[in-house]
Structure 1
Amino acid sequence: MKENLETVSSLTTHREGESFQCQNCGRKQERCLSCQQARHLDTSIFKHTAPLRNLDLVTLAISLLLQMEIERLQRRNRYLLQVLLFLKRKLERRGKSLDPVAAQSPVLSWYGTTPEPRRWWVRPRTHRRWWREEVLPLWDEEMWVSNFRMSKETLFELSNCLRPHLERQVTTLRQPISVEERVAIAIWWLSSPLLYRKVASRFGVGESTVAIIGIEVCLAIEKELLGKTVQLGDYRQIMAGFADLGFPHCIGAIDETHIPVRPPVRRPGTLLNGKNSYIVLQGTTDHAGRFIDIEVGHSGRNHDAHVFRHSTIYQAMEEGVFVPGNPHMEFNGVQIPPLILGDGAYPLRTWLMKPYGGNLDKRKQTFNLSLCRARNVVERAFGRLKSRWGCLSSHLTVAEKNFVPIVSACVVLHNICETKGHVLTPQVPARRKHVLPAQEESELGKGVGEGEKVRSAVAGLLMGER
């Protein structure tokens, strides 16, 4: 113990970094004053490790050079991608295809098959909570009908019907937009003049998302609900309804309206009717204003009778298959089939009644008055249709292939709202109809003579003749 103390005392007399002779082992040692510990000095180790230290420095220098070269190549690749993207857009603006250039340039060919990198997967939004935290829990039924044209319950029923077509898979990358919100976005989009920016701002999604969801919902409605909603219901109930309006044995009233659209790029003049670009919507309604048949997509330059002659309801009524059983009623020896009411632009048929023209006696005046009063339901139905869905009053700024799905979806939603009793109150401009000059009856085929007999019999029935 005494010897150890003497050794420690002798160590403390040496300064830092100073070597001394160890009394125990006889080797040179160095003591560090900070840790109060002694360590053996082996001077030969510095000679052997010198090459390793030099190798470390060389490796570090090489790694730094490689890293700088990688960063330079990455910057160069990004610059080349920007240049190629600029060239691609420039060619597209000029209307040229990239294929001839890509055939000569392997770089452009490679770029044409390479997707553009995204800045983000989903663009961050600060007001995505409006639908979940305000609309769903706080809005009453009046606000729902005013903004979505239907109640919350009806919208959720519609969403359940469309769920197989609209539901998206939940992934670890993001939570998809719910089916109910997709339907709400589409309905808000249809009820406005297709204002993408306002709808996107309201729901906190991108403008392209609004466009995609709107078309997807319209296609789903057309596929799933058009045949179930736009159809002839109980014809006996419809005939009774028109009888209450003053016209017997009637199952519908027919008319058409023009929908303004953006003219096709390659065929800008095909839809012009002298005022603007339009497509024709021909609709037949029951006594309550619900559409039982529609014909969409004909050019606005076509006459009402032309659209009518090429419609499905014309063929079905001519063949007697539109109404189940095609029931007839007899008056003064004349067989009266189920009737459809039209205006003066339509041809007279045994099953299609139109007003008398020229000088009118009391009998003809009574017939015209009864027909116009009963046929007014289709005029009001078209007015409510365009009042609910503002996209039908402004230009449809979509691709030509989407004209028919959007109009068909609006008709389906109109029937749903009419059936549910959702009354629309906003003030909307009245329906405009562009009427072309009437065609001669001789141009429209046979059946005018038989149609005149039926019209005369119906006029006598309205006058109370026996």
Structure 2
Amino acid sequence: MEEDEQLRPVMFLLTYLLLKRRRDLNDANAQRRSEAQRRVRLRQHFIQRQRRILMMMLAGSMRSNVRIRTRPWTTTRSTDWWERVVMTEFQPSDWLDKFRMSRETFFYLCEKLRPRLTRQDTSFRLALPLEKRVAVALWRLASNIEYRTISNLFGVGKSTVCRCVRDMCHAIVALLSSVYLRPPSDQELVDSAELFSSDWGFPHCVAAIGTLHIAILTPSNNASDYANPAGWLSVMSQVVVSGRGLFWDVCASFPGGTDPAEILQNSSLWATAAEGGLTPTLTPAFMGKPLRYVLVGEPCYPLQSWLMKAYPEGKGRSHLKRTEAEQLFNARLNGALRLTQEVLLRLRARWQCLSKRNDCGLDVVPTMILACCILHNMCESHGDTFKAEWQEEGTEAESPQPVYKQPHTPSVDQSNAEAVRRLYCDFYLQQQDYERLN
């Protein structure tokens, strides 16, 4: 009996070890069976996927063999169109027509946007190449055609087209604003003043300020706020254009019915200009007096010592009361304001999404406007060709921009601003007398 009692713990231990060994063997066998089944399913899925791809390739080949070809890049399948035609066969004129920029500028843009737009492959699908994502978005900005058409053209889904446009616009604003949409340096101020004087006959001026209206779909809320003076719904932007025809400052996202003077007074430009931020460190002289550089603007803006606008034109015969010097000033200032009109026309002509009615959401339109202004500066800085036919297409498609004659609210004119305007009148009067004598 004593021996049995001594052997009982040993027997219990041996029994436990045997049971544990059997359980471990069963778990290992179950794991091996599960892994084998998973591999079988993956192999079946891979075979089925390869079979579908092969059938699609065969169907595409059969359709392409019976298709009558006119131009190569209008009749090929979408995947082949991008990978072979665009990337290898597009001529310089094709890049300009379809992407509104040269091939060199296109790949420069792709490199700059790579940190924000690069995507990784997943277990379910391959990521869209960066260059193709940029091309899809540029095609939309340049043509404003429907997502469905671009989807069929590039062989991607409509949601992918929408996502490409949104992602690229945000990436451009985030990565390129500091390069192409920034405050001017002292030398750029001097160069711009020289261009305004030589090209537009308005000296001591560095920029022109204006408004841009983009037609939109009817918003779900507060639609009446978006009705502009021309009678159509729009999103309004304030732009500042340099003598080179580049944008220095853009304030977007305002309803079309907003007073331009209100936008200006609440923008960073107002504080910057009032503090002398648009004048070099060494204040230049005008008519023998130190004077900060000025901007020119439409009659809807308040007169400031740094912002010149034309003298009000009366109705009937009251305009005859304007002196000769004041008439000269108005003529030269209105001539300088044509720069803003021409630059905005080039902007809308190059990027048709700003010329035709934009069907994107109100959360996307302001970013799209900023992105297009940055792309305009980039293309102009790189010397990309601007085709005259783009301007004709844009003019035919767009709604006429509203014209602001008088401010919506009483102007907050600066007390010493009139003295600066009189200084310009004296300058033009002296210039005219000199021309008469010579």
Q: Same fold (TM over 0.5)?
A: yes
CA distance in 1, matches of 2:298, 2:405: 13
Alignment of 1:139 onto 2:90: yes
Q: How do 1:92-241 and structure 2 match up within 5 A? A: 127-231=78-182, 232-233=184-185, 234-241=188-195
Match in the other structure for 2:198: 244
**1:332, distance to aligned residue in structure 2 (A):** 5.7
Q: Which has the higher contact order (CA 8 A, sep 6+)?
A: 2
Identity %: 28
Residue 388 of structure 2 is aligned with which of 425, 438, 454?
425
Q: 3-state DSSP class of the match of 2:224?
A: coil
CA distance in 1, matches of 2:115, 2:370: 19
**1:361, distance to aligned residue in structure 2 (A):** 2.7
Question: Which amino acid in structure 2 is aligned with residue 264 of structure 1?
Answer: P
Residue 461 of structure 1 is aligned with which of 422, 427, 432?
427
Question: Which amino acid in structure 1 is aligned with residue 130 of structure 2?
Answer: V
CA distance in 1, matches of 2:216, 2:244: 29
**1:252, distance to aligned residue in structure 2 (A):** 0.1
Residue 216 of structure 2 is aligned with which of 261, 269, 272?
261
Match in the other structure for 1:284: 240
Residue 268 of structure 2 is aligned with which of 308, 312, 320?
312
Over 3 Å counting, the alpha-carbon distance change for 1:212 and 1:440 in structure 2 is: closer
CA distance in 1, matches of 2:262, 2:148: 39
Match in the other structure for 1:434: 402
Contact persistence 2:204–2:286 (CA under 8 A): no
**1:403, distance to aligned residue in structure 2 (A):** 1.7
Contact persistence 1:295–1:311 (CA under 8 A): yes
Contact persistence 1:320–1:326 (CA under 8 A): no
Q: 3-state DSSP class of the match of 2:258?
A: coil
CA distance in 2, matches of 1:317, 1:326: 15
TM-score by length of 2: 0.73
Contact persistence 1:326–1:338 (CA under 8 A): no
Question: Which amino acid in structure 1 is aligned with residue 220 of structure 2?
Answer: V
Over 3 Å counting, the alpha-carbon distance change for 1:149 and 1:302 in structure 2 is: same
Contact persistence 2:193–2:204 (CA under 8 A): yes
TM-score by length of 1: 0.69
Match in the other structure for 2:38: none
Q: How do 1:439-454 and structure 2 match up within 5 A? A: 439=407, 443-447=410-414, 449-454=415-420
CA distance in 2, matches of 1:214, 1:400: 14
CA distance in 1, matches of 2:282, 2:170: 33
Q: 3-state DSSP class of the match of 2:387?
A: coil
How big is each residue's C-alpha offset from its partner over 1:355-407, in whole Å with a ceiling of 9 and x where there is no partner?
12343332122222222222211110000111111111223222221121111
CA distance in 2, matches of 1:444, 1:369: 22
**1:341, distance to aligned residue in structure 2 (A):** 0.8
Q: How do 1:33-112 and structure 2 match up within 5 A? A: none
Aligned-pair RMSD on alpha carbons?
2.4
**1:227, distance to aligned residue in structure 2 (A):** 2.8
Aligned residues: 342
CA distance in 1, matches of 2:423, 2:336: 17
- Point out the structure with the larger helix share: 2
Match in the other structure for 2:296: 341
Question: Which amino acid in structure 2 is aligned with residue 438 of structure 1?
Answer: Q
CA distance in 1, matches of 2:311, 2:214: 29
Contact persistence 1:263–1:269 (CA under 8 A): no
Q: Which runs of 5+ in 2 are unaligned?
A: 1-51, 61-76, 314-318
Alignment of 1:356 onto 2:324: no
Contact persistence 2:300–2:406 (CA under 8 A): yes
Question: Which amino acid in structure 2 is aligned with residue 243 of structure 1?
Answer: S
CA distance in 2, matches of 1:357, 1:276: 26
Contact persistence 1:313–1:322 (CA under 8 A): no
Over 3 Å counting, the alpha-carbon distance change for 1:436 and 1:379 in structure 2 is: closer
Over 3 Å counting, the alpha-carbon distance change for 1:159 and 1:410 in structure 2 is: same
Over 3 Å counting, the alpha-carbon distance change for 1:224 and 1:323 in structure 2 is: farther
CA distance in 2, matches of 1:266, 1:223: 29
Question: Which amino acid in structure 1 is aligned with residue 300 of structure 2?
Answer: A
Question: Which amino acid in structure 1 is aligned with residue 268 of structure 2?
Answer: T
Structure 1, 155-164 or 185-194: larger mean CA deviation: 185-194
Match in the other structure for 1:80: none
Contact persistence 1:238–1:250 (CA under 8 A): yes
**1:321, distance to aligned residue in structure 2 (A):** 2.2
CA distance in 1, matches of 2:270, 2:215: 25
Residue 364 of structure 2 is aligned with which of 364, 382, 402?
402
Q: 3-state DSSP class of the match of 1:226?
A: helix
Question: Which amino acid in structure 2 is aligned with residue 250 of structure 1?
Answer: C
Over 3 Å counting, the alpha-carbon distance change for 1:409 and 1:352 in structure 2 is: same
**1:453, distance to aligned residue in structure 2 (A):** 0.6
Question: Which amino acid in structure 2 is aligned with residue 165 of structure 1?
Answer: R
Q: Which runs of 5+ in 1 are unaligned?
A: 1-119
**1:172, distance to aligned residue in structure 2 (A):** 5.0
